[in-house]
Amino acid sequence: MKRIVIFASGSGSNAENIIKYFQNSEEIVVTHVLSNNEQAKVFDRCERLNIDASLFDKDSFIHDDTVLNFLQVEADVIVLAGFLWKIPAKIVNAFPNKIINIHPALLPKYGGKGMYGMNVHKAVKENNEAETGITIHYVNENYDEGAIIFQAKTSVSSSDTPETIAQKVHELEYEHFPKVIEEVILQHE
């Protein structure tokens, strides 16, 4: 059984989608959700879904090995689902090609520090892009620069707003992210 630990900073809708997707899997299980935000709605979702969730701070993530040690015991694969901190090199190095992130744009466009959530969708709209989408990629030491695993596109019309763009992108996330995680994990068996 391959074990996933999910990192989430916000509402946790992608985390919930992933947890539900693997609930009846005989090969993959989500064992834990970790968050750096005590206000994150993901905690409510985990409680409802009966998934263990823990809060951590910057010290235990970056300066000491608390989070790293936990992951080395609990995780085969790490999934970032709306997690906003950069992953420290020591964790990236301990889990080479085993940390998967989703980004709400077609990388390399609209990636990097500060490019998340509505910031991305506003930039897509301001630049009159004809399309946007999602990028699922491995995590390395730099924001949004790891090897691309999968991309899916959606059109953007002149009548779209950042909010309608966000909705289209969320639909792609929910449709593809769990399936791509599963494919990546089963290919590495």
Structural domains in the chain (count)? 1
Q: How far apart are CA 68 and CA 108, in angstroms?
A: 28
In which domain, by residue range, is 119 found?
2-187
Q: Has 103 been annotated as catalytic?
A: yes
What stretch of H or E contains 28? strand 28-35
Beta bridge partners of 181: none
Q: What average pLDDT does this structure show over 8-26?
A: 96
At 63, the amino acid letter reads H
What CATH number has the domain bearing residue 121? 3.40.50.170
Q: How far apart are CA 75 and CA 91, in angstroms?
A: 12
Q: What average pLDDT does this structure show over 16-43?
A: 97
Rounded to 10°, the helix 117-126/162-187 angle is 120
Residue 11's SS3 state is coil
Question: Which of 103, 121, 170, 188 is an active site residue?
Answer: 103
Residue 137's SS3 state is strand
Tell me the pLDDT tens digit for each residue of 76-125.
Answer: 999 999 998 999 999 999 999 999 999 999 999 999 988 999 999 999 99
Q: How far apart are CA 141 and CA 146, in angstroms?
A: 8
Q: What average pLDDT does this structure show over 49-56?
A: 97
